[in-house]
Structure 1
Amino acid sequence: MPRRTATMLASLLMLIALLCAGVLIPVPYAEMSPGPTVNTLGEHGGEPVLQISGRKTYPTTGNLNMTTVRVTGSQYRMNLVEAVYGWIAHDNLVVPHSTLYPDDKTPDELNQETAEEFTQSQESAKVAALKQLDIPVGTRTVVSSVVKNSPAEGQLHAGDVIKAVDGTEIKQPGDVAKLVTKHQPGQKVTFRIIPAKEAAAAEKEKRQPSGEQDVTLTTAKAPDDKRAVVGIQAGTDHTFPFTINIKLADVGGPSAGLMFALGIVDKLTPGDMTGGKFIAGTGTIDDSGKVGPIGGVEMKTVGARNKGAQYFLTPKDNCAAAAKDKPSGLTLVKVDTIGDAVGALEKIRKGDSAGLPLCSAG
């Protein structure tokens, strides 16, 4: 065999071997790409995303789309060829696998965490929206979670309303720990509660809850110090003057909070907040209406523009990253609170683009 032919054959075999290795060898990376985007003013899966009853609502037009990021599964292992393609592809982002799936958490734990974040984002969106409209929202202290094998297990339950501890009225979650830790481990402490089922039924029926009961527990020693504990986490629950349901399955995490809140405000406000424009966005939101940053903003802007969005409401702390690779034709609007976002929508509706606070890469 001529030397030139042998060299070419050897090179070809080497290339094939490298390609096979690239396909077969897993690498510790995961991929993020633009995910689905859903209009909070519209329908998803055949039913309205926002369902409000017990309060007058108003017709809406245009779009207020929440955006998502699609990621490779926790058990999926990219090969070298996929990773290289992802690095080259403009609309994808390859990141270390541990960035999305930390080694200290199981897939089930991560799924549970993102589901809880999504539920909490819906609750905060409702609170922020009603506060923006000056509609009163009630608050109460509840049992958020119960520690396994603790004194409270089987005696207190998530959702139980805590009215008092040892006869002292509870006004905020921090009061619970203060009153429990006045005891020594092994001493008894009495909780006056409204069971979660009764509290939920009363809220649904728009009546005052009844059926208060006392639950006496024996405190235990905290595992990390000498404090007395009963094994619960106290938190805040809200009561609303009418019913707001958010129907959106197969989504996790807290990043849709802002767009849910704006959708609620639009439906409860006379007139048209969007002016018929296609507006998308992202951002966490807390009960006070503060907008927080999210991950994968570059993927979300691409997904929004691909669906036809003209404007993208961007958390202030994500602005620089989003502006560095802004899709053509998409205006990035900087927001820090729900009030900022409502003000931006008003400018967009009036065609006052020059007055919008825009994101910059600097």
Structure 2
Amino acid sequence: MSRRALTLIVAGFLTLTLAVGGAMLPVPYVVLSPGPTENTLGDIKGKPVINVQGRETFATTGTLSLVTVAYQGGPGNRIGLLTALRGWFDSTIAVVPEETIFPREQSVKEVEEQNTAEMAGSQDTATAAALNQLKVSIEDVVKVSSVDKGTPADGKLLPGDMIVAVDGTPTADPDSVVTAVQKHKPGDKIVFTVDGRSAKTDVPVVAAAAKDGKAVVGVRMGMSYKFPFKVDFSVGDVGGPSAGLMFSLGIYDKLTPGPLTGGKAIAGTGTMKPDGEVGPIGGIEQKMVGARKAGATIFLTPEQNCAAAVGAVPDGLRLVKVQTLDGAIKALDALRTGSGAVPACS
């Protein structure tokens, strides 16, 4: 073999090696793709996605599916350059900078915990919106969102506890709980009256000292709601607040006679406020693809997401613009009966 031929072979081998190595090189991007859909009127592993106890429910048909976005990559599990390049050429996939999903000031665990907390919050808010729509009275309460490990409240106050009083004085909001705690000195016993367990319970906690010397127990709180009956959710490994609209519609459908869907396969997305306002979400393109793959023909789209959705809607999927829960219900009524206006994204 001539020296020139040998040189070309070696150079080609090195080029190929570098190309393969470059393709495997981790890059700080995340691939977003269509995730699973779940019918809020159905079951997951034998458990109802929405389970109402203590109130009459009605049989229904069709689907009201929440949609999700799956991700690949992130700190500690970065994708290779080749995976990112493939994503850039696939219209159903988005490749975004890592910090879009995982802010630099947060760990992966913290992001996942935040998503879990947002999902739990969206379920409470969706329930409140549905019951407000049905004119069912609900009560605002202070709810424990998390308890710091190693603090006095650890193992005593629990996430989901509703703090209805401190030392016998009713609580109006989280600030009132903080004020009641800080009336004490470190080492004092503070009695929290909590609801949301099998029965209303008094829980004594001995306060510790914060860095500023004030009394602290190590509990984080937010405003939530006390409902006149129980609504449980089973959604598997899904996080974030974007299923709020579909949760509210699922609850409303179960609590009202007749199928809201008219038997149609409907999917949608949108955050939900207690007053019924629907808010925008991320990943609309991937969510539409997931909905269509699951058989949906109608997609409830937050008004603020319409512009992006119109340019990427899959064939066979009709976009219905929604601004409020009431508006979504009226649009579904119009679709079912064939009469009335159905707002469209344009």
Q: 1:85 to 1:255 in 2, by over 3 A?
A: same
What's the TM-score, normalizing by structure 2?
0.85
Question: Which residue number corresponds to residue 22 of structure 1?
Answer: 22
Matches within 5 A, 1:1-362: 13=13, 16-17=16-17, 19-74=19-74, 75-148=76-149, 150=151, 152=153, 156-165=157-166, 168-180=169-181, 183=183, 190-194=190-194, 199-202=196-199, 209=200, 211-212=201-202, 215=204, 218=207, 220-221=209-210, 223=211, 229-352=216-339, 355-360=341-346
Determine if contact 1:184/1:219 at 8 Å carries over to the other structure. Answer: no
Other structure's SS at 2:35 match: strand
The one-character-per-residue Cα deviations of 1:166-203 (angstroms, maximum 9, x if unpaired) are 6543223332234455x497696844423x6xx4103x
Give the Å deviation of 1:247. 1.9
Question: Amino acid of the residue matched to residue 65 of structure 2?
Answer: N
Question: Amino acid of the residue matched to residue 200 of structure 1?
Answer: R
Determine if contact 1:63/1:279 at 8 Å carries over to the other structure. Answer: yes
Q: 1:189 to 1:298 in 2, by over 3 A?
A: same
Give the Å deviation of 1:305. 1.5
Determine if contact 1:26/1:80 at 8 Å carries over to the other structure. Answer: yes
User: What are the ranges of 5 or more consecutive residues in structure 1 without an aligned counterpart?
Assistant: 203-208
Distance 2:293 2:21 in 1: 35
User: What are the ranges of 5 or more consecutive residues in structure 2 without an aligned counterpart?
Assistant: none
Computed over aligned residues only, the root mean square deviation of the Cα atoms, in angstroms, reads: 3.2
Other structure's SS at 1:200 match: coil
Give the Å deviation of 1:10. 8.1
Give the Å deviation of 1:230. 4.7
Q: How many residues align?
A: 345
Distance 1:159 1:311 in 2: 35
Q: 1:81 to 1:149 in 2, by over 3 A?
A: closer
Q: 1:218 to 1:260 in 2, by over 3 A?
A: closer
Determine if contact 2:181/2:190 at 8 Å carries over to the other structure. Answer: no
Question: Identity of counterpart residues, as a percentage?
Answer: 44
Q: 1:308 to 1:4 in 2, by over 3 A?
A: farther
Other structure's SS at 1:108 match: helix
Give the Å deviation of 1:241. 2.5
Q: 1:135 to 1:184 in 2, by over 3 A?
A: closer
